[in-house]
Amino acid sequence: MKKIILVTGATSGFGKAIAIKFAENGHKLIITGRRKDRLEDLKSKLENEFNAEVLALCFDVRDAAEVERNILALPENWKAIDVLVNNAGLAVGMSPVHEGVLDDWERMIDTNMKGLLYMTRFVAPLMVARMNGHIINIGSVAGKEVYPNGNVYCGSKFGVDAITKGTRIDLVQYNIKVTQVAPGAANTEFSVVRFKGDQQRADTVYKGFKPLSAGDIAEVVYYVTTLPEHVNINDLVIMPTAQASSMHFHKA
């Protein structure tokens, strides 16, 4: 059955790979992000390579009014969203708490927690009305274990862990599945963003072991949507084989 999948943060990393995976499998995609040029490039790729139907929506998930406007303005034939993948997110900076940069903190909390909440707030009613849907939140190992200088990023992902559980409880009566996918180290643009464009520093994060790829996470996100109607995966933690916890890596 052809489903409608809405993926936030589809301009890079996991979100882009997830959009490709669902398009490859014949589904309709709503792709979102702030970088319009990348959204347009991805839309063309999905249309040309997979003959997919694609709607590209350019907005910032931190802006509640924009989120509401974009969801309410969906064309009728795009409103029956089957799967919402709350993927947009970021880490910014890696300072001890007493030296933290307030703007970095706001960006992480506003994107990772409030943005995910705004998306859920305006998409979930469409699912409730249909008594059907699946919300997949991208958490992190950082939402399971705190590590040095991870303070606020970890806090925002612990928040995603709690919000996912609360969402599942609130929506269980409406036949809506709610899943958290919590990856470990994956080589996307994540570390370049965290280190504010310092590619060299970002590269050192993934030196000496094989990190996850965006495609690995796309496989998992796709998999959780393929289970029978009565089966839901609540939570999945996925790490590279060479990673045992937030802090333990086997590096060459």
Rule CB under 6 A: say whether 141 interacts with ligand 8X3.
Answer: yes
Please, what is the minimum distance in Å from the beta carbon of residue 200 to ligand 8X3? 17
Report how far residue 60's alpha carbon sits from residue 111's, in angstroms, rounded to the nearest whole number.
Answer: 9
Q: Examine residue 160 and tell whether it contacts ligand 8X3 (CB under 6 A).
A: no
First to last CA, the chain: 45
> Rounded CA gap, 28 and 16, in Å?
14
Pick the closer one to ligand 8X3 by CB: 164 or 246: 246
Q: Scanning the structure block, which residue is given the tokens 């694609």?
A: 54
Measured distance CA(35)–CA(84) in Å, rounded:
20
Q: What is the DSSP string of 135-154?
A: EEEE--GGGTS--TT-HHHH
Kindly tell me which residue out of 119, 185, 214, 221 binds ligand 8X3, with binding defined by CB under 6 A. 185
Instruction: Clarify whether 153 is annotated catalytic.
Output: yes
Structure tokens given for 17: 């790979």
Q: Is 108 in the site for ligand 8X3 (CB under 6 A)?
A: no
CB under 5 to 8 A by kind: which of ligand NDP, ligand 8X3, none does 155 bind? none
Q: Which residues contact ligand NDP (rule: CB under 6 A)?
A: 8-15, 33-35, 60-62, 87-90, 111, 115, 138, 140, 183, 185-186, 188-190, 193
At closest approach, how far in Å is the CB of 80 from ligand NDP? 23
- Structure tokens of 194? 């965290």
Strand partners, 178: 135
Residue type, 66: E
Q: Which residues pair with 56 in a beta bridge?
A: 31
Q: Which stretch binds ligand 8X3 (CB under 6 A): 6-14, 44-52, 57-65, 134-142?
A: 134-142
Residue 181 contacts ligand 8X3 per CB under 6 A:
no
Q: How far is the CB of 165 from ligand 8X3 (least distance, A)?
A: 18
Residue with Cβ nearer ligand 8X3 (225 or 246): 246
The item of ligand NDP, ligand 8X3, none sharing an interface with residue 85, based on CB under 5 to 8 Å by kind, is: none
Q: List, as one string, the DSSP characters of 75-108.
A: -GGG----EEEE----------GGG--HHHHHHH
Q: CB of 188: closest distance to ligand NDP in angstroms?
A: 3
Catalytic residues: 153
